[in-house]
Structure formats: C-alpha cells, structure tokens
Structure 1
C-alpha cells in the first residue's frame, strides 16, 4: 500500500534517533505538523518512535508493515489473553483485503493486518486494541472486518498479548492467502485476487540473515534490509565498510541509501536485473559479519570514512 509520510530526514528537536521535531510533518500521515497532531498537549496519543522494540522479530515486523507486499506469520497468544470459549488461531498478515486492520473468519480464526490506513501514534498499541476487539467478536461467534474508528487510548500493546518468540514468516507470491479458508472461489473473488496480485512486486526473504528482503520492482531489483542497530553506530559502521569497498552484497550491487521506519534504518541496495534472491545468501552472511566487526571498531574515522558517512546520512528517507 502507498505510504503517505515519506519525508526527507532532518535532525529532530529532541536529539533522539528517529524522533520527530515539533515543526516536522507528523509521522501519522495527517499532513499536520507534529506539534499540532500527535505532539499536541492533550491531543492525540503521543507518537512512539520505536513501537515494536523488545519483540524478537522487531525488524521483520517493520519490513512486513512497510516493505513486503504479501507475507504471513502465526501468532501465539500469551496465557490468559484468549477469551473463554474461543479456540481459534491468530495469523499476522502484511496486508488484508481493503487494508482491514483485522478480520474474524467464519471458523473463528483471527487475521491481523499490519498495513492499515489509520495511525494513532503507537502501531503496537493499535495492533493490541484491534486484536483484543477481534478476539471478543470471535468468541461471540461474529465474523467480518474489525477496525478502529478512534484513538484507542492507553492499553495493552502487541508485546503484552503475544509470546516472546521469533516469527515464522512465510512470504507469498501474491495474496492467495486471503482465500486460504475459502474452499470454493467464485469468479468475483478470483478477479479481485488477480487484480491485487498485479500490484505485488515479487519478494523473497533471505534465509542467511534476519529481516533482509529481495524484491523485483520491474526495471530494478533491490535488497532492503531492516537492521536493529543504533542509527549513529550503524551509519558509522556502514561508512567504514563503504570506504573499504566492503559494502557490496552481489556483483554490481550498490548501496544507494536507506529508509528510516519505526525507529530503525533499512539500508537499500540496487541490484543488477536478473540477480535474484538465491545468490545473495552467502554475500549477505559475509556482509553481516563485516558489519559486526565494523560496529565493534571504535577508532576515529578517516577523512574518507567521514565523507562516506555524510553521504549516507543524506540518502535517508523517513517512511514512519
């Protein structure tokens, strides 16, 4: 789905990495300045710069919310979260039909969507509120779309509702998972599915490293890799690797910039057309090892490394 809040990175007033200055556009996509939206006293809920912090698959959650068109993962609820009488399952989805926040299926299963239209400042709290509401409806025997029409206010976040374990992610070629529990598809369903599939760029998750996704967007291929490191430390490490000629992930690849999303950076490489995902596995593993070594290097940057760092800092785009 389209992202509304793409703005060039600027220093935030607070100094916190990924924070939002009062005069910057609010990350919720409202079009207002932060001080008049989620930064307003007594207004909307405060903006949370890193909403998925603490979850084992924080980086993958960000990728599924912002970068990956079609993917799913089962969620396991913490003890005592499931309402009495409900025995279904919960499935996390990158995108649901009509960008629905959640759906209760006919059999009682709950599907939770990451790519949604609303934004109330803390996506993890939004997910928690929608999940609890969907579970209530499922326990009552209801089915259909579940969403939020207003700021849910304080309450349980996703971290409070699901067990603390890594996600088992399946990346799909299209949105056929929307109809996984529909035994017979009529012509209307099939046509809608085909239309949605046309908008989904082929994507694959690398197995050798965490939260790295190859994608083919037609005229180009990219590797987009959400990383958990502190922003300043990561920029410095990437600058060291660039100056040393070690920032490639495939022959002919080029580190072209990075996204900032939900408090973390996602470096992006352009890849030669025809590269594919499979050949990236070993180079990505090698790059990850080189990056860890560069992160541990506390020496002063050389002039060449400082120049590389400045160039990388100027090639950032904030998504959320």
Structure 2
C-alpha cells in the first residue's frame, strides 16, 4: 500500500514537473515570437509615420492624418506589451503591483484609442462617399476631433493612475474598453451591409478610393480568429487552445503590417512617396510625380 501511494505521488510529481517545463518552454517561445512580431509592427508603423509626416501632399487627404495618429498610438503599445509580458512571467517580484497595473491599463487604453480612431476613419470614409455636405464640415473639424481623442486618452490615463495606485478593482477604463470593442464588432458588419446596398446607386464606383474602408475591415477581420477560438475553447484540449489562442493573438496584433501593405498597394500617392524615400532622394520633393487630389460630385470623379 505504501509503495502504491509513493508511486502515485511520484507519478503526479513527474506530470506536474513536465507540465511546468512545457509551460516554461511555451512562455519562452511565445515571448521570442512576441518580440519579433512587435519589432516588425514597429518598423511598419515608422514607415507609415515617416512618409505621411515627410510629404505634405499625403496630409492633404485627411484620412491619412487619422492613419498617422493610429500608427503613432500603436507604436508605444507595440513597444511596451512584450516587455510587460516578459516581466510578468519572469520578474514579477521585481516590479510593484501598482506599476504593473498601470502599464497594463495603459496598454488597454492605447488599444481602445486605436479602435476609436478606426471608427472615426470609417465614419470619415462613409460620409465622404455618401454625405458630401456633412463630410465637408467633418473634414474642417477633423483636427478638433483628434484633439478630443487625445484629451480622452489623458483623462483615461488619470483614471488608470487613480485605480492602480488606490487599489480599485473596478475601473472605468475597462468598462469603456469592453463597450467600445463590442460596439466596434457590431458596427463593422452593419456598415458593410449598408455600403453593399448603397454602392449600387453610385456612378463610377470602381474609381473611388476605398483604402480607409479596407483598413477598417482588415482590423475587424484580424480579430475574428480570436472570437472563434474563444467560442471553441470548451471543445479544445488545453494544449490546442493555447496554440490556437497564440496564433489568433499574433494575427490580431499584426495590423500595422497589414495597413502598410494596403497603403503600399492601394494608395498610389503613398506608394510613390515611399519609393521616393527608398531611392535616397527623400529630400527632393517632386509634386509632379503625384496624381492631383480627386474630388467627387454625385459619384462622378473629377480632377482638381
């Protein structure tokens, strides 16, 4: 009986040690992949930011300014998130809990602002396509809208400080994030359906620039694998769930790369200026290389 009991204890200990060893190896590989993916995302963000800031012609199209701010907000998120994960796994005892709390909340806040900017981008594109007069007013006040977004960011940061350093479990930031994210998940299918119905009435629709809408849909679609894994969790083994969750996570955070690819292939002006940068002639500014801005009047394309 004693031998049987000892054998059971040893077997349980071996299983526990194997599980711990597997988790340690998984965390190590995940962190390495996280750092690599984050670096790629940061490079993509920098390319988006530099080219749009460098050339004024790109900033004449206001949706480029929204994308510029999206990339600026996304950069610190990509920089801090792998570091936070690494510290949480390997050195949590070295960092005060309140500091961890604040960094985590700030990452959630930056993610929230990214979602808000994508919603603004989608609304901007939709108004430009279907409500020309309202779009003109919105276009004139886009900087005010972005200033309000940054005031919102500062306000949420203050709430994060209060929550983390005063040991408040419930935070307003978390509630706002959940509501905004769910609203975005509902908003994108609705706007796609409305657009599918309305675009049939447009004249010469194929010549319109749909880059903003493509970016919005790409961000939306990149988060769908995570939802699928979440719903499938009860039917998956812990190992399979862990692997699929990791894959879905990396698909979701690669948006800067997707955005860069879409801008490169979908926006002729961005494509030309990016090539101008890599030709080592970025100090030269040749407006003639770039197509003139296009305005639309009742669905008909006109050169300005």
Instruction: Give the TM-score normalised by structure 2.
Output: 0.29
Instruction: Give the TM-score normalised by structure 1.
Output: 0.28
If you compute each CA radius of gyration, which structure gives the higher value, 1 or 2? 2
**Whose strand fraction is larger, Structure 1's or Structure 2's?**
1
Q: With CA pairs under 8 Å and 6+ residues apart, which has the higher RCO, 1 or 2?
A: 2
**Whose helix fraction is larger, Structure 1's or Structure 2's?**
2
